[in-house]
Amino acid sequence: MKQHRLAYCKEHYIEWVIDYTVKTIERYHLFSKEEKILVAVSGGKDSLALWDILWQAGYQADGLYIGLGIDDGIHYSDRSHELSLKFAEERGLLLHTVNIPERYDETIPQMAQRDRRGHGKPCSVCGLVKRHEMNRIAVEKGYPVLATGHNLDDEVAVLLGNTLSWSMDMLIRQAPLLPAENGFARKVKPLCRFTERETAAYTILKNIEYIFDECPYAVGSKSASFKQILNQLEEEMPGKKLKFYTDFLRMKKDGYLNDKNDEKPGYYHTCPICNQPTTIEGPCAFCRLVGKAI
Ligand code: SF4
């Protein structure tokens, strides 16, 4: 690992990953061992690695799997659910499951077909539905903390995208911890300082079975292009990704980005249908999408 100037054998690599995650949790004050954590699991390497690390490190972590109804010939959703269940059963851990087509009568691709915002591509609808459901389950089941498996590659791709478009609202909200406020559970990203390669190495060394295929809709996304560019940079300048991200967090801490719109009175409203927070008055974007607002 050139960016850390480290090289480990299998046993010490696993120890290092767990220690480094605990250091990230402590450094950014993400949560304590006394708090119940809900880990959003997709059956992929990052979320299963995160759940395994938290379990190994002695945190109280349960899982949440959201079935999206994505098939596309490879039974992506069925397979990822199967692997998440297998992981939980092998360790005696609790996995909550929400099946979107059963609960809302439509799969994510079907919702995307009637929604204009993604021009038929399901990712924006999928993001909206996942955010809504993760928060709903965390609040309903009493989890103060919602953890996701976003890694350094995900974070720097988002950071590059937001910087290129100078999306100040998004830059202000990008952080390893978003505090619980305005009806949202606390959101944390304990793997934000690991590259994708590092989390993949952890799952392989721990023999964790994960869904190898990416979601069929991930191909050709902007985020995939940003990741490719950033990987080229990393090849030439090892450590660039980590430095880009940690320098950004340091600048935020030093107050360079602190004009928080969402702290202004009247920024958040409560959706009259699902009671979740929303930035618009009246029914929230999720209730409009699933047709509850008609
Ligand atoms: Fe959802 Fe798009 Fe991710 Fe697939 S790639 S899981 S559709 S956000």
CA of 7 to the centre of ligand 1 (A): 34
Residue 187 β-bridge partners: 146, 178
End-to-end CA distance of the chain: 54
CA of 217 to the centre of ligand 1 (A): 6
Residue 172: pLDDT over 80: yes
pLDDT of residue 265: 66
CA of 69 to the centre of ligand 1 (A): 11
User: Who wins on pLDDT, 88 or 218?
Assistant: 88
C-alpha to C-alpha distance for 7 and 227, rounded to whole angstroms: 24
Question: Residues with beta carbon inside 6 Å of ligand 1?
Answer: 122-123, 126-127, 215, 217-218
121 — pLDDT class (breaks 50, 70, 90): confident
Segment 30-43, tens digit of pLDDT? 999 999 999 999 99
- Mean pLDDT across 16-31: 98
Indicate which atom in ligand 1 lies nearest the CA of residue 109: 7
Indicate which atom in ligand 1 lies nearest the CA of residue 108: 7
Q: Which residues contact 275 (CB under 8 A, 6 or more apart)?
A: 183
- Mean pLDDT across 114-126: 78
Q: What domains, with CATH codes, occur in the chain?
A: 10-260 (3.40.50.620)
pLDDT of residue 75: 75
Segment 221-267, tens digit of pLDDT? 888 899 999 999 999 999 999 999 999 999 988 887 766 656 666 77
CA of 282 to the centre of ligand 1 (A): 27
User: Mutate which of 217, 225, 227 to test ligand 1's pocket (most atoms within 8 Å of Cβ)?
Assistant: 217
User: Mutate which of 107, 123, 129 to test ligand 1's pocket (most atoms within 8 Å of Cβ)?
Assistant: 123
- Mean pLDDT across 102-129: 86
C-alpha to C-alpha distance for 172 and 214, rounded to whole angstroms: 29
CA of 26 to the centre of ligand 1 (A): 30
For atom 6 of ligand 1, the residue with the nearest CA is 215
Residue 63 β-bridge partners: 39, 95
- Mean pLDDT across 201-226: 90
For atom 7 of ligand 1, the residue with the nearest CA is 123
Mean pLDDT value across the chain: 92
CA of 214 to the centre of ligand 1 (A): 9
- Mean pLDDT across 261-287: 85
With b for 16 or more beta-carbon neighbours within 10 A and e for fewer, the 209-246 pattern comes to ebbeeebebeeeeeeeebbeebeeebeeeeeebbebbe
CA of 126 to the centre of ligand 1 (A): 6
- Percent of all residues in the chain with a pLDDT value above 70, rounded to a whole number: 94
In DSSP notation, 42-84 reads -SSHHHHHHHHHHHHTT-EEEEEEEE----TTTTHHHHHHHHH
215 — pLDDT class (breaks 50, 70, 90): confident
Indicate which atom in ligand 1 lies nearest the CA of residue 218: 5
Residue 73: pLDDT over 90: no
CA of 132 to the centre of ligand 1 (A): 15
Contact (CB, 8 A) for 147 and 39:
yes
Contact (CB, 8 A) for 83 and 43:
yes
Pairing of strands 145-147, 36-41: parallel
